[in-house]
Amino acid sequence: MDKIIIRGGRPLHGEIEVSGAKNAALPFLFAALLTEEECRFTNIPRVVDIRTALHLLTELGVEAEWRDDNEVVLRAPSVRHLEAPYELVKTMRASFLVLGPLLTRFGRARVSTPGGCAIGTRPVDIHLAGLQQLGAEIRLQEGYVEATASRLRGARISLDFPSVGATENLMMAATLADGPSQIENAACEPEIVALQTLLNAMGARVSGAGGPVIRIDGVARLYGAEQRVIPDRVEAGTFLIAGAMTSGQVFVRGARAEHLDAFVQKLRATGIGLEIEADGIAVTGDERPSRVDVITWPYPGFPTDLQAQMMALLTLGDGRSLITETVFENRFMHAQELTRLGADIHIRHNTAAVNGVAMLSGAPVMATDLRASVSLILAGLAARGKTEVSRVYHLDRGYEKIEEKLSQLGADIRRVSAEKDGTAEERRRTVV
């Protein structure tokens, strides 16, 4: 198990490029199941979640290969199995996105339920209710969802909650259904818009993504397509906070302000200087951030995936900030680790009261989930002294070459493999 070691307190300076969005790339990979023709995707980040998805797809019988650093080509003329096993689904909840495409194209699928995870119980009831409305017969057996339908029928589906994954699964399922479908109270995230663009490039007829009502006219078949993955808004937000927390000056190339509106507004409310440019966002952090309250909400609200990073920033705020998490039920595990670095945080139900301190100081801490781990990296960059973050496999699920990118900005950060700790063999790249 690797660790990341940071010697903090150095202001970050320079330019950093945002990778492709993992959360947009994953549904792209699963959408390749909808056609027998070749799909080619560029700007795919080389992170562990993508490797897990490709592993699952090749287990099903999909031909998948990396053509270039960030380019993947997939072909699914047929599939060997219509089953996604527990071992793979449990490691990544997004694997559940195989269900809609397999069912709509092949009439049958057996997919393990993802089960709980560190940030909550995370059920899949909204996915299943939607598929039933599209005419699927669903049985739950031995931890697996068994779904069948000779051909799905278009339907009007109103989601109980604008779940990102359920919206994506149902959009994909409805592309090959018989007749029109409408998904109401749909998730509005930029990744949903990106999926609509891909599906339409494959010959689907989808409109409305980005708003709460998505319309899909079912077609008989879909075709191959090429598509570039949008930049990762969560990674972009993370780097903006890194610049701000270290009193640095950083240009985040590829950051799209239109995907980060709620976040940009909150950052500005703390007094941090942001310059929105056509090809990215520049941040300048020179003073203590002012206190600010944050409530996470589905898009276009403040993203839950930037909550931990915002908490790291506000540990150094001037006053008491309240952070309320409404999307996930247990997403404050980073708070306890941040307190090991000197932060003053008190949690009550789904609200964290963060009393800003003048300074953090380095300590050993442990990552608990993907965004939690990056919040510890951010705090470590700002803290005086040495911070050691263990269990960084969580980080590798979603951040591409993070030590390399932060080093380029002047951070003193390196990866060591735990068993070689002391002799400290450095691995600056995550090889996926």
Q: List residues with catalytic annotation.
A: 117
Kindly list the distances between the CA atom of residue 295 and the CA atoms of 191, 241, 320, 400, in Å, as whole numbers in the listed order.
21, 17, 15, 27
CA Rg value for the chain: 22
Please list every residue from 110 through 129 that binds ligand UD1, using CB under 6 A. Answer: 120, 122-127
Counting contacts by CB under 6 A, is residue 328 touching ligand UD1? yes
Write the Ramachandran bin of 75: left for phi over 0, alpha for psi from -120 to 50, otherwise beta. Answer: beta
Counting contacts by CB under 6 A, is residue 139 touching ligand UD1? no
Q: Which one, 125 or 287, has the nearer CB to ligand UD1?
A: 125
HSE-CB of 119 using CA atoms within 13 angstroms? 22
Helix (H) or strand (E) holding 415: strand 412-417
Counting contacts by CB under 6 A, is residue 140 touching ligand UD1? no
Quote the least distance from Cβ 306 to ligand UD1, whole Å.
10
CA distance 95 to 75: 18
x/- letters, 26..45, toward ligand UD1 (CB under 6 A): x-------------------
Please list every residue from 348 through 407 that binds ligand UD1, using CB under 6 A. Answer: none
Counting contacts by CB under 6 A, is residue 109 touching ligand UD1? no
Q: Which one, 218 or 298, has the nearer CB to ligand UD1?
A: 298
Q: Which one, 127 or 405, has the nearer CB to ligand UD1?
A: 127
Quote the least distance from Cβ 86 to ligand UD1, whole Å.
17
**Is 307 exposed, middle or buried, given 0-12, 13-18 or 19+ CB atoms closer than 10 A?**
buried
Quote the least distance from Cβ 77 to ligand UD1, whole Å.
26
For 266, the token pair is: 């909150």
CA distance 6 to 367: 14
x/- letters, 175..204, toward ligand UD1 (CB under 6 A): ----------------x-------------
CB 272 within 8 A of CB 289: yes
CA distance 275 to 282: 5
Size of the site for ligand UD1 (CB under 6 A): 21
Please list every residue from 149 through 168 that binds ligand UD1, using CB under 6 A. Answer: 161, 163-166
Quote the least distance from Cβ 114 to ligand UD1, whole Å.
8
Which of 23, 112, 197, 227 contacts ligand UD1 by CB under 6 A? 23
Name the residue among 310, 315, 200 with its Cα closest to residue 265: 310
For 418, the token pair is: 């735990």
Counting contacts by CB under 6 A, is residue 304 touching ligand UD1? yes
* Interaction site with ligand UD1 (CB under 6 A): 23, 26, 93-94, 120, 122-127, 161, 163-166, 191, 304-305, 327-328
